[in-house]
Amino acid sequence: MSKRLAEVAAKVGVSEATVSRVLNGKPGVSNATREAVLTALDIMGYERPTKLRGERARLVGLVLPELQNPIFPALADIIGGALAQNGYTPLLCTQNAGGITESDYVDLLLAQQVSGVIFLGGSYTEGGAPHEHYERLRRVKLPTVLVSAPVAGVEFATVSTDDASAAEQAVQHLHQLGHRKIGLLLGPAAHQPSVRKREGARRALAGLGSPLDDRLVVNGLYSIESGQAGASRLINAGATALVCASDPLALGAIRAARRLDLAVPRDVSVVGFDDSALMSFTEPPLTTVRQPIDAMGRAVIDLLLGQIHGTDAPGDELLFEPELVLRGSTGPAPVAD
């Protein structure tokens, strides 16, 4: 018992006496500390005292912002499979407009006494969004890993693709093809991955002697419809090439070009981001920047298990280098009449 008390106390950062009061159901302990001690017992594999015991499984919450963008199901498949191989059952939590919020899911997962939580995108990527529910996870010291760049102040172990590098690679490729009016079709303006992509594109263009033209930047949602609307604006503003922050945005851009009786890539070149399923089978096949989701998935599991087993503390952001995949949607800049 004394060893267990010492280990749990060290993990939570409280005294052994405090742990003992929690285990014996004694007063004088805050709810947050009591929950942190019980969570530590769960994730360290100790059984709760009978009177504090509830139904518990080796569950890990897997929180997705949506299922429409194929990159999220692909990541969930990789991470869910790896969790199962390590003896954990993923508890899939998918958000949708007007449905259960991310904060509601955090409450649900804490009530289910999960061993950890993995977020595949969420409000932590957005400036101005509610972030209070992350503080609840921090207070109880629940192992947590984020996938995709967080805003400042949301500090958990994080695995991200280098968004700035992705934009730089796309811009440099298009510039080499002779494009000088390169438009950016991004996600919401306060979305951290899009903030980074914009900065990467700005830096690449500056290095090529072509300052970023704010008139050739459109922010919107990560959807085909938003991509079509935004691309129409950029093409009408003179852009001959478009760097898109997701593959669905890029598909919307190709649709917009066709609605304007333009051909891709003869009249407009398009670059996506993710290299999600079936992008090599579109017409034309999509040039895109590939996220290394297999390697990222393995890193997520390593970070989570390290926290669960107490060998790792929440660390810094791990950045993975993306890869430009050349296909048929990019070509030489059109010759001016």
pLDDT by residue for the chain (337 residues), tens only, comes to 567 778 888 888 888 888 888 887 777 788 778 878 877 777 776 666 655 544 445 899 999 988 888 899 999 999 999 999 988 989 999 877 667 889 999 988 988 889 999 999 999 999 888 899 999 998 888 999 999 999 988 889 999 999 999 999 999 999 999 999 999 999 999 999 999 999 999 999 999 998 999 999 999 999 999 999 999 999 999 999 999 999 999 999 999 999 999 999 999 999 999 999 889 999 999 999 999 999 999 999 999 999 988 877 777 899 999 999 999 999 999 986 5
For residue 162 the two structure tokens come to 């280098």
Per-residue model confidence (pLDDT) at position 48: 65
In a domain, 228, yes or no: yes
Per-residue model confidence (pLDDT) at position 91: 92
Per-residue model confidence (pLDDT) at position 53: 43
Same domain, 296 and 280: no
Same domain, 68 and 184: no
Q: Please count the structural domains in the chain.
A: 3
Give the range of the structural domain holding residue 17, as residue numbers without chain letter: 2-52
Same domain, 274 and 187: yes
Per-residue model confidence (pLDDT) at position 328: 97
Tell me the CA end-to-end span of the chain in Å, nearest whole number: 83
Residue 329 and residue 284 in contact, taking contact as beta carbons nearer than 8 Å: yes
Those residues whose C-beta lies under 8 Å from the C-beta of residue 60, and which sit 6 or more positions away, are 83, 88, 89, 90, 91, 114, 115, 116, 117, 118, 304
Same domain, 95 and 145: yes
Those residues whose C-beta lies under 8 Å from the C-beta of residue 281, and which sit 6 or more positions away, are none
Same domain, 250 and 190: yes
Same domain, 234 and 192: yes
Q: Which residues of 67-93 are buried (b: 16+ CB within 10 A; e: fewer)?
A: eebbbbbbbbebbbebbeeeebebbeb
Same domain, 301 and 157: yes
CATH number for position 120:
3.40.50.2300
Domain-ending residue, one of 35, 52, 69: 52
In a domain, 139, yes or no: yes
The whole-model pTM stands at: 0.82
In a domain, 332, yes or no: no
Q: Measuring CA to CA, which residue among 163, 159, 138, 134 is closest to residue 148?
A: 159
For residue 219 the two structure tokens come to 């922010």
Per-residue model confidence (pLDDT) at position 40: 79
Same domain, 152 and 100: yes
Angle at 147 between CA 146 and CA 150, to 5 degrees: 65
In a domain, 331, yes or no: no
In a domain, 329, yes or no: no
Per-residue model confidence (pLDDT) at position 56: 43
Same domain, 157 and 168: no
For residue 193 the two structure tokens come to 């991955």
Per-residue model confidence (pLDDT) at position 111: 82
Same domain, 156 and 235: no
Residue 160 and residue 149 in contact, taking contact as beta carbons nearer than 8 Å: yes
Cα dihedral value 38, 301, 193, 242, nearest 10 = -150
